[in-house]
Structure 1
Amino acid sequence: MRLIIAEKPSLARAIAEALPGAARRDDGALVVGDTTVTWCLGHLLEQAPPDAYDPALKQWRLDHLPILPAEWKLMPRPRARGQLAVIRRLLKGAREVVHAGDPDREGQLLVQEVIEHLGWKGPVSRLLVSDLNRPAVQRALARLEDNARYQPLFRAAESRARADWLYGINLTRAWTLIGRQAGHDGVLSVGRVQTPVLGLVVRRDAEIRDFVPRPFFVLWADLEVAAGRLRAWWQPGETHPLDDQGRLLARQPAADLAERLPGAEGRLARLESRDRRQPAPLPYSLSALQVDAARRFGLSAKAVLEICQRLYERHKLITYPRSDCRYLPEEHFASARATLEGACRTDPTLRGWLAGADFSRRSRAWNDKQVGAHHALSPTGKPADPSRLDKAEADVFRLIARNVLAQFYPPLVTREVKAEFAIAGEAFRASGQEILEPGWKPLFTTREEAPPLPPLTEGETCRVREAGVEDRETRPPEPFTDASLIKAMMNIGRYVEDPAVRRTLREHDGLGTEATRAGIIETLVERGYLVRRAKALRATRLGSALIASLPDAVGRPERTALWEQRLGSIAEAGDDPAPFLASLVTDLHGLLSSADAGRLRQALANARGEEPAPAGRPSARRRGSTARRRGTGTGGSRPTRRRRSS
């Protein structure tokens, strides 16, 4: 018997349907001829708790830290024991095993750890499925690979799981224990990803809170030129009081000039014009889709992920959604027309866009060199049944299809014009943009662009018809939203102060993964560290105090971003995981030595932040369960039954 082990039941059903012959159900499996397809339920195994290594560790004590397992143990998740028994039984009759986890680091781990935990010693092949439709699964079945090729991916995922355990268990226990000494009765969860994300929000909130607005002043002049009228803006020179962004800090110079300007003549001293060709935005990665869907439809990152999972598993309308790639395989280009015609058939908006597509065009999106374990989100070609999709599902599906359709539209061509006028011995600037060829732009917005400047000729004269001064104030940064926080996590290098680290992160940018970013935000909300106010995400008093009490490096992104870089080297270059884990243990000793109840007590006393809505706080048991689920990416400790305070 050939035994195929899928990551989840939906994938197992898709594989069984793609095999020749009719499938019959067995206990926890599907049988098609000589092939049996079974499944995991996400992670069937989890890292054992500290007391599995030593019963004395069930009690939380500072003198037990750091906890460093000599030999790592896994244990079945409570709800997974039945399916684990099914796989154990089927392995006894198998001659070959096929690993059919999702095509990513975590998918490699969760199936392979089961195979190894149950002691299978025979051959293992690897099946990579990113599209659940029958033709795509049949193609994948025809090109099985040796699972040994993916050992580096497994070692990286295993190292991530162990490192998260070490970091989360030890720091969470340490800060919870000093929290008790400081008067806080509850678990203070610390994780290598969740805590830097919390730190981003806490620091942004502090910038907003401490912001002191400063007045500045701008002077405009409405000019008459040969071909019409335009508005230009004064560019005050260095003899005037300016801030570091060139803004005028005193009103009087602008007011004096405004009085003299009406009726004054000048000339167009310099004219710059250039045409720009912009290719269509690339197809979506999950994070890019979460950002756009949040802005356009107000959907949370978690909601977008859940919608994508339904579109992938239940409706089979899109390819594998948890992708960090925005490119498509070159072999998909030949079938793109048929795929999109099928995908757009039942949606009037998509049909209209399809009519304008030129399938002889080949955009930069088709690039095998940019495609790794995943490719960008794209339609499978299956027509959507409008009666089975809710509005949010239809909206998200339309975005995914639109970005692929846009690859078959011409570039957007614009003309950008910059003009500088010399009037009364001062410089005035105006700029405008004209759309020459709309290309893909109508698929993305129906908004009217700002009117372009009238035709201009360098050296021509102008006359000031009217002038005025506007009083303005500097504005604080905007609070984070789901969209902007996901974007910050995608581009975490922008928040790194060390120039050398920032350079290192250019190719390894990102905090969390496509699969975990939404879960990280929700975990922070559930644990009472963040709260939603309308669309804004704000830190609570508890969240602010936790960041203030931790060593600065724990609440900043440098450590975890470089950590992901090391894991990438293990996965892609086959680096040995041992030095990575050894360096983490060294770091832990230093971090634990800095745990200070006095500092935490002061942080709790000084904390300023939002209070979570009382009705919206889940119970301690429910909040703790979040860390158990695959995909949270919190790096926190294994949940305990201790009560958490609100």
Structure 2
Amino acid sequence: MRLIIAEKPSLARAIAEALPGALRREDGALVAGDTTVTWCLGHLLEQAPPDAYDPAFKQWRLDHLPILPDRWKHTPRPKARGQLTVIRRLLKGAQEVVHAGDPDREGQLLVQEVIEHLGWKGPVSRLLVNDLNRPAVQRSLARLEDNARYQPLYRAAESRARADWLYGINLTRAWTLTGRQAGHDGVLSVGRVQTPVLGLVVRRDNEIRDFKPRPFFVLWADLTVTHGMLRAWWVPGETHPLDDQGRLLSREPAAALAERLPGAEGRLTALESRDRRQAAPLPYSLSALQVDAARRFGLSAKVTLDVCQRLYERHKLITYPRSDCRYLPEEHLAGARATLQGACQADDTLRGWFEGADFSRRSKAWNDKQVGAHHALAPTGKPADLARLDKTEADIFRMITRNVVAQFYPPLVTREVKAEFSILDNLFRARGQEVLAAGWKPLFTTRDEAPPLPPLTEGEACRVADVGVEDRETRPPEPFTDASLIKAMMNIARYVEDAAVRRTLREHDGLGTEATRAGIIETLVERGYLVRRGKALRATRIGSALIASLPEAVGQPERTALWEQRLGAIAEAGDDPAPFLAALIEDLHGLLSAADAGRLSLALRDARGEAPPPPTRARSSNAKSSRGKSSNSKVSRPRRGTARGKATKH
């Protein structure tokens, strides 16, 4: 008997329906011929809690930290025992096992850890399914691979799970216990991704809070030229009071010039014209889709992910959604017309886009070198009756399909014009944009980015028809939204100050993964560290206090982004995970020694807007010594846990 273990029931059903032979259902499985398909329910196993290693760890104590498992253990999730029993029974009668987890790091982990936990020693093949429609699943079943090829991916996922456990368990216990000493009754959760994300929001909120607006002034002049009129803006010289962005800080020079300008004549001294060809945006990765859906429809990242999962699993209208790739396999190009025709035929908007496509074109989106375990989001070709979808599902499906259809449209061609005028020995600039060929742009928007300038000739005369001085103010940065926070997580190198680290991270950009970013934001909201105010995501008082009390590096993105780089090296280059975990454990010792109840108390007071306590009178050295011994505001040196070398063997 061949046993296929899928990641979830929907995938198991799609696989079973693609198998030859009559299909029958058994307890926890589907059977077709000599093949049985069973499933996990997401993660059936989880990292064992600390007290599974030592019953004393059930009580949270500072002198237990750091807790370092000698030999890693798993425990069944509460609702998973029944399905684990089914898989154990089926394994006893199997001659071959097929791993059918999702085609990503977590998918590799959650099925393989079950296979290993249940002690299977026989051969294991790997089935990768990106599309749940029957023809696509049948093609995948014909291309089974040796699961050994994906061992680096499994080791990376396993290392990530162990590192998250070490980091989260130890730091959460340390800060929760020092929080109690500081008067906070509740768990203070610290995580290797969630805390840097919280740190991004806290720092942005602090920038907004501390922002001091500064006035600046701009002068514009409406100019009559040979073939029409345009608006130009004065460029103050270096002799005027300017800030570091060239903005005028005093109104007087602008006002004085404005009085002289009406009716003044000048000349166009420099004219630059450049035609620009812009290809269509690439098909979506999950994060890119979440950013656009948040901007266009105000959807949270989690709502967009949930909608994509329904379109993939329930409706079978799109390919695997939890993808970080924006490219498509070259073999899909030949069938793209038929696929898109099926996706677009039942919707007026999509059908109009499809009919305007030129399928003789080939964009850079079709590139096998850019495709890894999964490709960009795309329609499957199943006929889509959008009337049977809810509005949000239809909106997201249109976006995904549009970005693929757009690959068969010509480029957007624009002419960008920059003009410089000399008037009363002062420099004025104007710029405009003209659309020469709309190309793919009407699929996305009909709005022009900038109005075109009238036809211009270098050296022609101009005359000032109107003039104005505008009083403006510098503005604080915008608070994060779901869209901008997801984008920040995708492009985390932009938020790194160290130039060397920033250069390194450009190749391994990303805080969290496509599959986890939405969940991270929701977790921070659920734990009371972030709150939504309209579209804005703002840090709560306790969220701000937590970041203020932690070592600065814990709330910064560098550490976890570099983790992802090292995990990528394990997954892609087969690096040994032991040095990664050893470095983490060494790091933990230093971080734990920084847990300070006094610092946390001050952070909590500051977040509540309370004044700091008045200074106390000096006491005798004996009294100070006695107080220091009892306060235990610093984490004690670790008494428990194994040697570092042992913790990194697994």
C-alpha separation in 2, matches of 1:386 and 1:369: 34
Deviation at 1:447, TM superposition (A): 2.4
Superposed CA deviations along residues 170-194 of structure 1, whole A, max 9, x for unmatched, are 0000000000000000000000000
Match of 1:414 in 2: 414
C-alpha separation in 2, matches of 1:604 and 1:553: 19
Counterpart AA for 1:159: S
Counterpart AA for 2:187: V
Match of 1:254 in 2: 254
RMSD: 0.7
Match of 1:150 in 2: 150
Match of 2:134 in 1: 134
> 1:91 aligned to 2:91?
yes
C-alpha separation in 1, matches of 2:339 and 2:608: 53
C-alpha separation in 1, matches of 2:494 and 2:576: 30
Contact kept, 8 Å, 2:205 with 2:539, in 1: the verdict is yes
Q: 1:409 to 1:582 in 2, by over 3 A?
A: same
Deviation at 1:608, TM superposition (A): 5.7
> 1:243 aligned to 2:243?
yes
C-alpha separation in 2, matches of 1:447 and 1:415: 16
Superposed CA deviations along residues 437-491 of structure 1, whole A, max 9, x for unmatched, are 0000000012255420000000111111111100000000000000000000000
Deviation at 1:383, TM superposition (A): 1.1
Secondary structure of 1:136's aligned partner: helix
Q: 1:79 to 1:435 in 2, by over 3 A?
A: same
- Please list, as runs of the form range in 1=range in 2, the aligned pairs for 1:253-272 lying within 5 A after superposition: 253-272=253-272
Deviation at 1:521, TM superposition (A): 0.3
The normalised TM-score by structure 2 is 0.93
C-alpha separation in 1, matches of 2:374 and 2:257: 60
Contact kept, 8 Å, 2:21 with 2:33, in 1: the verdict is yes
Superposed CA deviations along residues 336-357 of structure 1, whole A, max 9, x for unmatched, are 0000000001111000101100
C-alpha separation in 1, matches of 2:413 and 2:384: 33
Contact kept, 8 Å, 1:182 with 1:601, in 2: the verdict is yes
Match of 2:170 in 1: 170
C-alpha separation in 2, matches of 1:57 and 1:164: 18
Match of 2:184 in 1: 184
> 1:599 aligned to 2:599?
yes
C-alpha separation in 2, matches of 1:257 and 1:484: 40
Secondary structure of 1:187's aligned partner: coil
Contact kept, 8 Å, 2:131 with 2:320, in 1: the verdict is yes
- Please list, as runs of the form range in 1=range in 2, the aligned pairs for 1:624-639 lying within 5 A after superposition: none
Counterpart AA for 1:259: E
Counterpart AA for 1:65: L
C-alpha separation in 2, matches of 1:5 and 1:451: 58
C-alpha separation in 1, matches of 2:345 and 2:13: 26
C-alpha separation in 2, matches of 1:233 and 1:153: 56
Secondary structure of 2:246's aligned partner: coil
Deviation at 1:157, TM superposition (A): 0.2
Match of 2:459 in 1: 459
Counterpart AA for 1:199: G
C-alpha separation in 1, matches of 2:302 and 2:539: 18
Superposed CA deviations along residues 249-281 of structure 1, whole A, max 9, x for unmatched, are 000000000000111111000000000000000
Counterpart AA for 2:86: V
Counterpart AA for 2:380: T
C-alpha separation in 1, matches of 2:545 and 2:78: 34
Contact kept, 8 Å, 1:544 with 1:608, in 2: the verdict is no
Match of 1:233 in 2: 233
Contact kept, 8 Å, 2:347 with 2:385, in 1: the verdict is no
Contact kept, 8 Å, 2:358 with 2:409, in 1: the verdict is yes
Superposed CA deviations along residues 132-183 of structure 1, whole A, max 9, x for unmatched, are 0011100000010000000000000000000000000000000000000000
The normalised TM-score by structure 1 is 0.94
Match of 1:56 in 2: 56
Identity of aligned residues (%): 87
Counterpart AA for 1:90: L
C-alpha separation in 1, matches of 2:448 and 2:357: 22
Match of 1:20 in 2: 20
Match of 1:549 in 2: 549
- Please list, as runs of the form range in 1=range in 2, the aligned pairs for 1:508-523 lying within 5 A after superposition: 508-523=508-523
> 1:275 aligned to 2:280?
no
Counterpart AA for 1:386: L
Contact kept, 8 Å, 1:66 with 1:170, in 2: the verdict is yes
Match of 1:524 in 2: 524
C-alpha separation in 2, matches of 1:448 and 1:276: 14
Match of 1:612 in 2: none
C-alpha separation in 1, matches of 2:14 and 2:92: 24
Higher-Rg member (1/2):
2
Match of 1:300 in 2: 300
Secondary structure of 2:80's aligned partner: helix
Match of 1:391 in 2: 391
Contact kept, 8 Å, 1:125 with 1:145, in 2: the verdict is yes
C-alpha separation in 1, matches of 2:584 and 2:486: 26
Contact kept, 8 Å, 2:307 with 2:393, in 1: the verdict is yes
Aligned residues: 609
Counterpart AA for 1:289: L
- In structure 1, stretches of 5+ residues that fail to align are 610-646
Counterpart AA for 1:86: V
Match of 1:629 in 2: none
Of 385-394 and 543-552, the range deviating more from structure 2: 385-394
Counterpart AA for 2:204: R
Superposed CA deviations along residues 500-538 of structure 1, whole A, max 9, x for unmatched, are 000000010000000000000000000000000000000
Match of 1:489 in 2: 489
Superposed CA deviations along residues 380-428 of structure 1, whole A, max 9, x for unmatched, are 0001123421000000000000000000000000000000001100000
Match of 2:500 in 1: 500
C-alpha separation in 2, matches of 1:428 and 1:448: 23
Counterpart AA for 1:53: Y
Secondary structure of 1:166's aligned partner: helix
Match of 1:66 in 2: 66
Secondary structure of 1:342's aligned partner: helix
- In structure 2, stretches of 5+ residues that fail to align are 610-650
Q: 1:35 to 1:553 in 2, by over 3 A?
A: same
Match of 2:578 in 1: 578
Counterpart AA for 1:8: K
Superposed CA deviations along residues 43-78 of structure 1, whole A, max 9, x for unmatched, are 000000000000000000000000000000001001
Match of 1:324 in 2: 324
Secondary structure of 1:86's aligned partner: helix
C-alpha separation in 1, matches of 2:423 and 2:59: 79
Match of 1:625 in 2: none
Match of 2:365 in 1: 365
Match of 1:558 in 2: 558
Match of 2:313 in 1: 313
Contact kept, 8 Å, 1:540 with 1:608, in 2: the verdict is no
Contact kept, 8 Å, 2:362 with 2:407, in 1: the verdict is yes
C-alpha separation in 2, matches of 1:215 and 1:449: 27
Deviation at 1:607, TM superposition (A): 1.1
Match of 2:221 in 1: 221
Contact kept, 8 Å, 1:551 with 1:594, in 2: the verdict is yes
C-alpha separation in 2, matches of 1:471 and 1:169: 54
Secondary structure of 1:262's aligned partner: coil
Contact kept, 8 Å, 1:287 with 1:324, in 2: the verdict is yes
Of 267-276 and 450-459, the range deviating more from structure 2: 450-459
C-alpha separation in 2, matches of 1:547 and 1:22: 58
C-alpha separation in 1, matches of 2:451 and 2:577: 58
